[in-house]
């Protein structure tokens, strides 16, 4: 025992020097102001996030039209009683610590669950109000193509796409009359590398089996949008019809509702975009060198030609006569017939 300046004796640690001041032991605290160890605070955050992901069923299996209000509310409210229980267990309960622990967990949870929600919520689940998916009869640009049952009069369309600053394009016929038979469905694989789609503009058949491979150790999403007939190809303005997580080095399948122009974008990397042109007929081609293209064995008659690029879409009427070639030029805002019938 040693005497302090006021004549009061206090315990002296055995073996300590006589001139060494006594330092009372204060219990350490992991997260300042919360009264919780860092591991206990992390456990509280983890429980809240797990409740968010699985309340009412896994987030990634929720229907497109599902509301997630309950998931949000319960995952936040569960933090309060859990914080009280943990502080009681440590005999450090106070309203200040309850408020601090709850507030810090809520702030961290907001960041974590926002990223998870963007990555795993599907379709209209990311909208404030549930919206039914578009009617197929209105959503599809080309429907009901049937190959000709017998011989048919045909011609050819040749031309070039002359777009400033955009050398990529796909040219196709919109709702053509019966003609040649389409190719059978095939497997089409897309890939994401270095934050970009390797094929940012792709022509596929409506019945193809599509898959997307993530070649990176980074989480991506595949937010599928459908362009309205006559509209543009801006991914941010198209109506979302699906949203799939694309895990690190993983692969996801992609099902399109039918023919049309579709956009793919990543919610976590806005510059990661691609455009798919899905047709139910064989009259579509990507342009070649210099923007040149040829549509062969085209049914004779009055037709509509559409050219789609990564950032634009142009359409125009043409006429094809049997056994003849129609030449066209696709400009920035129109399709011009340069020679033909």
Pair 229, 111: CB distance under 8 Å: no
* 204 plus 168 within the same structural domain: no
Rounded Cα distance between 83 and 130, Å, is 34
Pair 297, 154: CB distance under 8 Å: yes
Q: Is the pLDDT of residue 205 over 60?
A: yes
Mean pLDDT of 165-188: 90
* 252 plus 296 within the same structural domain: no
Rounded Cα distance between 60 and 38, Å, is 30
Mean pLDDT of 157-165: 85
Higher pLDDT: 59 or 50? It is 50
pLDDT category of residue 142 using cuts at 50, 70 and 90: very low
- Strand extents, DSSP E, 269-334: 273-279, 284-286, 292-299, 301-308, 313-320, 325-330
pLDDT for position 23? 52
pLDDT category of residue 181 using cuts at 50, 70 and 90: very high
* 209 plus 269 within the same structural domain: yes
* 267 plus 190 within the same structural domain: yes
* 167 plus 247 within the same structural domain: no
* 205 plus 274 within the same structural domain: yes
Inside any domain, residue 16: no
Inside any domain, residue 316: yes
pLDDT category of residue 11 using cuts at 50, 70 and 90: low
Q: Would the CA dihedral through 6, 11, 17, 20 be positive or negative?
A: negative
pLDDT for position 32? 87
Q: Domain containing 171: what range?
A: 148-177+287-341
Burial class of residue 186 in the structure, from the number of CB atoms within 10 Å of its CB (0-12 exposed, 13-18 middle, 19+ buried): exposed
Inside any domain, residue 135: no
For position 269, which CATH number holds?
A: 2.60.40.420
Inside any domain, residue 94: yes
Inside any domain, residue 291: yes
Give, as one character, the DSSP assignment of residue 296: E
Output the DSSP codes for 102-158.
Answer: HHHHHHHHHHHHHHHHHHH--GGGGSSS--PPPPHHHH-SS------SS---EEEEE
Q: Which two tokens stand for residue 300?
A: 């004779």
Pair 243, 224: CB distance under 8 Å: yes
Rounded Cα distance between 276 and 189, Å, is 12
| Helix (H) or strand (E) run with residue 88 in it | helix 79-89
* 160 plus 187 within the same structural domain: no
Higher pLDDT: 142 or 39? It is 39
Q: Is the pLDDT of residue 200 over 60?
A: yes
Q: Is the pLDDT of residue 29 over 70?
A: no
Bridging pattern class, strands 325-330 and 335-339: antiparallel
Task: Summarize pLDDT for 226-276 with one digit per residue, the tens.
Answer: 887 655 555 556 778 888 899 989 999 998 888 999 999 998 998 999 999
Q: Is the pLDDT of residue 25 over 80?
A: no
Inside any domain, residue 143: no
Task: Summarize pLDDT for 265-316 with one digit per residue, the tens.
Answer: 998 998 999 999 999 999 999 998 888 999 999 999 999 999 998 878 899 9
How confident is the prediction for the chain on average, in pLDDT? 82
Quote the radius of gyration of the chain (alpha carbons, Å).
32
Q: Is the pLDDT of residue 221 over 50?
A: yes
* 158 plus 227 within the same structural domain: no
Mean pLDDT of 35-63: 88
* 331 plus 206 within the same structural domain: no
* 173 plus 188 within the same structural domain: no
Q: Which two tokens stand for residue 84?
A: 């009280």
* 323 plus 293 within the same structural domain: yes
Number of domains present in the structure of the chain: 3
Rounded Cα distance between 103 and 293, Å, is 61
Q: Is the pLDDT of residue 16 over 50?
A: no
Inside any domain, residue 228: yes
Region of residue 275 (left: phi > 0; alpha: psi -120 to 50; beta: else)? beta
Q: Is the pLDDT of residue 124 over 60?
A: no
User: Per DSSP, what are the bridge partners of residue 303?
Assistant: 318
Percent of the chain with pLDDT over 70: 79
Inside any domain, residue 337: yes
The alpha-helical segments, DSSP class H, found in 153-286 are none
Higher pLDDT: 230 or 217? It is 217
* 204 plus 331 within the same structural domain: no
Mean pLDDT of 331-340: 82
Rounded Cα distance between 278 and 281, Å, is 9
| Helix (H) or strand (E) run with residue 190 in it | strand 187-193
């Amino acid at each position: 025992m040693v005497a302090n300046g006021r004549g009061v004796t206090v315990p002296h640690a055995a073996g300590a020097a006589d001139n060494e001041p006594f330092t009372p032991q204060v219990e350490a605290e992991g997260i300042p102001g919360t009264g919780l160890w860092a591991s206990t605070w992390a456990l509280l955050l983890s429980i809240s996030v797990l409740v968010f992901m699985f309340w009412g069923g896994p987030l990634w299996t929720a229907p497109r039209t599902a509301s997630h209000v309950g998931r949000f509310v319960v995952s936040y409210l569960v933090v309060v009683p859990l914080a009280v229980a943990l502080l009681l267990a440590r005999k450090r309960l106070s309203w200040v610590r309850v408020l601090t622990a709850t507030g810090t967990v809520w702030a961290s949870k907001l960041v974590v669950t926002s990223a998870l929600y963007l990555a795993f919520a599907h379709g209209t689940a990311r909208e404030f109000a549930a919206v039914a998916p578009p009617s197929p009869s209105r959503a599809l640009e080309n429907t009901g193509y049937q190959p000709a049952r017998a011989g048919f009069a045909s011609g050819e369309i040749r031309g070039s796409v002359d777009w400033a600053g955009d050398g990529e394009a796909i040219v196709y016929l919109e709702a053509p009359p019966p003609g040649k038979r389409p190719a059978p469905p095939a497997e089409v694989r897309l890939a994401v590398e270095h934050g970009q789609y390797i094929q940012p503009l792709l022509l596929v058949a409506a019945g193809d089996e599509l898959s997307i491979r993530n070649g990176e150790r980074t989480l991506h999403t595949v937010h599928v949008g459908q362009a309205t007939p006559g509209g543009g190809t801006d991914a941010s303005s198209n109506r979302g019809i699906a949203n799939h997580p694309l895990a690190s080095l993983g692969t996801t399948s992609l099902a399109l509702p039918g023919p049309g122009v579709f956009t793919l974008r990543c919610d976590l990397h806005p510059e990661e975009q691609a455009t798919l042109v899905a047709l139910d007929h064989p009259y579509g081609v990507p342009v070649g060198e210099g923007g040149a293209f040829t549509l062969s064995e085209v049914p004779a008659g009055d037709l509509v030609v559409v050219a789609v690029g990564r950032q634009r879409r142009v359409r125009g009427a043409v006429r094809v006569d049997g056994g003849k070639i129609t030449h066209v030029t696709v400009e920035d805002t129109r399709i011009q017939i340069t020679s033909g019938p």
